[in-house]
């Protein structure tokens, strides 16, 4: 039987507001798990998948190096960008307009208790989606995320990933560049990896703009297949 996952598209939303909302959903799931363990209640834990598009923002993971942000606070303000240190893995990353950000908040006890498998399936979801646009996307050994032309001087990242998991509940997720302003990546060393370029789907396809809703639908279809899940759409004001 497919696992049910509640899907919400939050639209264009501030990073901190979305992070707080993630934390709320995360805590609700963990609280149910703790209650089940203590009282043997057998309550079903919910699963969530959030889509969002953020204003310009840089986030630094727990193991990240602040030196990978190449500009000061004044320059960030000039660029209309904000900055947060956050509780996911990984180094520095950028979110902004023209980027599909996905936050699966799942109880992996409902799926499989393997965080590496979880990351590989998220990558596979993106790889299969990009294949529908004629792109051969791949993993790069030792570098989480999805890349093009791996192992060549032209290797470039198109999707960043960074997650947190506690009690087998996940948060944070992936950021796939669709119509992103790549100039914002010049203000940092993406994921702390030097001498590697970043790209966006519209650039790869030679288009001014790619239909982001179309990409989302492809991602969701592959998510349902890979995770053996059933997505339930929910419109929620957060």
Q: 62 or 146: which carries more pLDDT confidence?
A: 146
In a domain, 73, yes or no: yes
**What tens digit of pLDDT does each residue of 122-141 get?**
999 999 999 999 999 999 98
Q: Please check whether residue 238 lies inside any domain of the structure.
A: no
Q: Is residue 25 domain-resident?
A: yes
Domain containing residue 116: 3-233
Residue 167: which CATH number? Answer: 3.30.930.10
Find the helix or strand (DSSP H, E) in which 226 lies: helix 212-227
In the chain, how many domains are there?
1
User: Which contiguous run of DSSP H or E holds residue 27?
Assistant: helix 15-39
- Work out the number of other CB atoms within 10 angstroms of the CB of residue 229: 21
- Mean residue pLDDT of the chain comes to 92
- In three-state secondary structure terms, 165 is strand
Active site residues: 191
Write out pLDDT tens, residues 48-87: 999 999 999 999 888 788 888 888 888 888 999 999 888 8
Chain segment 82-129, per-residue pLDDT in tens: 998 888 877 888 999 999 999 999 999 999 999 999 999 999 999 999
Whether residue 21 is contained in a domain is answered as yes
pLDDT digits (tens, 9 = 90+) for 156-193: 999 999 899 999 999 999 999 999 999 999 888 765 55
Residue 224 maps to a domain: yes
Q: Which residues contact 9 (CB under 8 A, 6 or more apart)?
A: 50, 51, 52, 216
């Amino acid at each position: 039987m497919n696992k049910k996952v509640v899907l919400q598209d939050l639209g264009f939303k501030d990073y901190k507001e979305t992070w707080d909302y993630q934390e709320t959903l995360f805590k609700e799931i963990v609280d149910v798990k703790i209650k089940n363990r203590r009282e043997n209640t057998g309550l079903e834990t919910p699963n969530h998948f959030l889509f969002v598009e953020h204003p310009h923002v840089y986030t630094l993971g727990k193991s990240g190096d602040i030196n990978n942000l190449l500009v000061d606070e004044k320059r960030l303000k000039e660029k209309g960008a904000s900055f947060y240190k956050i509780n996911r893995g990984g180094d520095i990353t950028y979110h902004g307009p023209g980027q599909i950000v996905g936050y699966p908040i799942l109880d992996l006890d409902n799926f499989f208790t393997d965080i590496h498998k979880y990351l590989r399936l998220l990558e596979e979801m993106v790889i299969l989606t990009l294949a529908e646009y004629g792109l051969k996307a791949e993993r790069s050994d030792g570098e989480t995320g999805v890349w093009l032309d791996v192992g060549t001087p032209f290797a470039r990242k198109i999707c960043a990933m960074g997650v947190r998991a506690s009690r087998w509940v996940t948060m944070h997720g992936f950021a796939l560049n669709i119509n992103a302003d790549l100039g914002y990546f010049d203000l940092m060393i993406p994921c702390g990896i030097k001498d590697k370029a970043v790209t966006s789907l519209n650039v790869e396809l030679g288009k001014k703009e790619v239909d982001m809703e179309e990409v989302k639908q492809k991602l969701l279809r592959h998510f349902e297949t890979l995770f053996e899940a059933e997505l339930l759409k929910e419109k929620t004001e957060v």
